[in-house]
Structure 1
């Protein structure tokens, strides 16, 4: 085993990965990677993208620039002490880190990174007099966040009056954004972020810290933990971020391009969800990428995956151990992901296929798409099974849901994976995750699970831009009670359906196998899906 220890953080890499990771770490030192990152030099990146990439590395110093953030948030919270139902509206990097911090602090932050009308309506049922809405978006133009913002502002206007609404809203955004202008016009409290820090690298800035801080989480401690490990990231020796990045890249180069993330301890319980976005969206492009798979101590690691334990490894089964306080974990993973992306030859700071799915969604909403993909292949009492037009005819021989599940498991290549993508209510439809678990028990392939549209800003990039080895099960459902989006010609149900269709289109255009199971009735449809998954041979 080789280790790097600094600032209260420890990264350990075990055999047989240790030797190749050590060699690659030494190569990074020879190439002056730590110095180049720390001093923001252009030389380590291709000339065509170097200037843009270097401008986007200010996340390295967020621990320093966020040193005074805790006092700002404390003052905001004190002024709104009676507003104890905090709802965070944000997608991807604008909300995932905040959720991790809140879970670690055992604070009841409600994160709405969804367009499911059932889930949103449940949040709207909260007492509006105690509601504090955090609008988090770098641009203010992300369709989910913008639509949810309209819904909640209108809700507060109707129940409290326009004059009283302003103190119930806190905005986190970039300076000069559309949302910044709205906050200034309406009198909302506003915390500005560094415009050069991408959302998934913003864990140690306002996007990751303000919402949990409003509930009383000790965000100063998160920042201090990151600050303690920051000096080591400029070092050649005892640089835990460099060793972690070398281990991830070395494994991927040798065909182990999946990482099984296992959290040990309450402080990092939700951390795999954030790492999933960071690693997959940063590395998954140009036909390359590292696929995170969220597991537990009981999850068997696929042959082409490395087991990563976050916290202490009590069983001694990990290939990589990252034992560090939460703030240090954030910074180490951001650094390691950048280093691994450098080795893989991809730009860690763009997300071209996320933007593609957004464009597809807008086209579907505008009625610009028709491809006949809505003809069901199988119809049961509550479920319709749809297949992409022109897709291989394997499912045409299927008559039962179990047979469709089995077909999905057989078509993935030996080095592939199966992604289950549920455009449902993350609170009310949780049992759909059992489908992924049952499939996982029946195969040696990695099986991932993601809630839509959350995953579109996360693994969705890797699904389309990464290695073409995945098979995809999309689960959609009818909405019994829609939520109108004020000022827009659609409700949340239509937006959610358009997002699912836009993502399906992007996958289909790349020849990725996609099966869509649509629940005409949610409860009965989930009963059918889970029963079929339990009866897999």
Structure 2
């Protein structure tokens, strides 16, 4: 790892020296909660299990590998993961970066409640040739259980024993574990309760889906174990890969460089989505936070504001678009090379340690998510409210003549140091992703601000904590639509369409309640592509 920090190098060196003097590394591995607060806080000591996961999970490799081979031998062609946030992001990165072993199934992640997204997954699979992984730490995640109910119903139409096509991953004793037993799931895998969702890539949440697509789990864990040992309790902070990165992240955020911008080589293009949740949900609270910028199209270095810290990840030999000229333009740059794709797990471990350490610099709790529940509560209230009982949410409609003027006026509120977040409650597909990326380029050129994109409700389990609990420097554009047709959720009295609109309403009200700048755009039956045509220049 090469750190070119310019004027910030002194502060980072001083932080590392102070950590060496206080025994930070040793105390971290001893799970000392006073690294973050003088008094012990909940969800610290009992959330540090990720430190030893690479070694702890190694004995489970033969069992998991055999499970994956057994499923493959039965002709399973797809693995559909029903999960959100920490339950889905690592498996998605494993599929997109490591890929499936030849003759093994491919992984499809459903982390949306948009009816069109549910239908798209349904159309892509044959339930008789699909293994469904129902993944939820709490065992109560609304999106996950709704997806389960839908695909259980679809599978039961084809198979006499639908449970043979379902696997649960959850914490011991959760409602999902009870459900899996009552429906006679093929298997239930328990994850350690002392590992939070965003730190759970190397628990069963990541390893079960990885095994089903034929990932070499021994190689994956070995790479992470090597990084863990390089960052071990006897290693000084100034020599620890994780603590060096964490000191830089924390100190530069304190100095105003709080937009942690990831630049990656092509093979690693999925990795920032996982990093985004880790950083945003861990640091975005108490009016503070590091804002991860994932997947933003590169710009000329002179276009970036003075609030950026760039971190570049690349596979050896692969170029990284956007890094040329960054340092010359006065921006700090951290460069992290990977010898091969299986070092992905090592970088996950480094990032986890760095994020936990950066939390100590910022004086925040890196393992809780105190503002996530508010949006969930408001969404539940919206679902349970009688038709028309809730106060309507003001929206700018694509069909209205004042659309351009309204959006332009809202963008006029963007100030130096802000970021603009596009929150799109639409299906996550190639066309919509392309439109949103083009909009990011235009927004950055118009405002000079960093930009983020999140598909709802997926982002609620990733950056949602930062949006509501972090600094009030976000400018949020929430985009909703009317699905082409709704999809009922079996066994309950609501639909996917009702869920996703309630989730958008709940998050909108939560953000407004926290004094955030937020504009809702209602596409109606229109599309993002149509909106792009009328977007203010």
Judge same fold: TM > 0.5, yes or no: yes
1:292-320 CA distances to partner (integer Å, 9 max, x unpaired)?
01246733443201111012667473611
Equivalent positions of 1:469-508 (< 5 A) are 469-508=473-512
Cα displacement (A) at 1:11? 5.1
Whether contact under 8 Å (1:431, 1:526) holds in the other structure is no
Q: Report the Cα distance in structure 1 between the residues aligned to 2:426 and 2:366, rounded to whole angstroms.
A: 29
Counterpart in 2 of 1:130? 129
Instruction: Tell me whether 1:98 sits opposite 2:98 in the alignment.
Output: no
Q: 1:30 to 1:329 in 2, by over 3 A?
A: same
Identify the match of residue 311 of structure 2 among 308, 311, 333: 308
Q: 1:506 to 1:379 in 2, by over 3 A?
A: closer
Instruction: Tell me whether 1:422 sits opposite 2:420 in the alignment.
Output: no
1:438-475 CA distances to partner (integer Å, 9 max, x unpaired)?
22232211111100011101111111100012111000
Q: 1:262 to 1:112 in 2, by over 3 A?
A: same
Instruction: Tell me whether 1:145 sits opposite 2:159 in the alignment.
Output: no
Q: Report the Cα distance in structure 1 between the residues aligned to 2:325 and 2:88, rounded to whole angstroms.
A: 33
Cα displacement (A) at 1:379? 4.4
Whether contact under 8 Å (1:80, 1:167) holds in the other structure is no
2:158 alignment partner, SS class: helix
Gaps of 5+ in 2: 101-105, 327-331
Equivalent positions of 1:172-211 (< 5 A) are 172-188=169-185, 189-211=187-209
Counterpart in 1 of 2:329? none
1:355-411 CA distances to partner (integer Å, 9 max, x unpaired)?
1111111111111795533455x5453xx6xxxxxxxxxxxxxx5433333223220
Counterpart in 1 of 2:392? 373
1:411 alignment partner, SS class: coil
Cα displacement (A) at 1:429? 3.4
1:91-134 CA distances to partner (integer Å, 9 max, x unpaired)?
00001011111111133321111101101111112112211111
Q: 1:316 to 1:18 in 2, by over 3 A?
A: farther
1:512-533 CA distances to partner (integer Å, 9 max, x unpaired)?
12111111113xx323311123
Q: Report the Cα distance in structure 2 between the residues aligned to 1:52 and 1:501, rounded to whole angstroms.
A: 29
Cα displacement (A) at 1:329? 0.5
Counterpart in 2 of 1:160? 159
Counterpart in 2 of 1:20? 11
Whether contact under 8 Å (1:56, 1:196) holds in the other structure is yes
Gaps of 5+ in 1: 1-9, 385-398
| TM-score, normalisation: structure 2 | 0.89
Cα displacement (A) at 1:176? 0.9
Identify the match of residue 219 of structure 1 among 214, 217, 220: 217
1:474 alignment partner, SS class: strand
Counterpart in 1 of 2:110? 112
Q: 1:238 to 1:47 in 2, by over 3 A?
A: closer
Q: 1:77 to 1:119 in 2, by over 3 A?
A: same
Q: Report the Cα distance in structure 2 between the residues aligned to 1:257 and 1:129, rounded to whole angstroms.
A: 48
Counterpart in 2 of 1:323? 337
469-478 or 41-50: which moved more? 41-50
| TM-score, normalisation: structure 1 | 0.89
Q: 1:51 to 1:502 in 2, by over 3 A?
A: closer
Instruction: Tell me whether 1:509 sits opposite 2:508 in the alignment.
Output: no
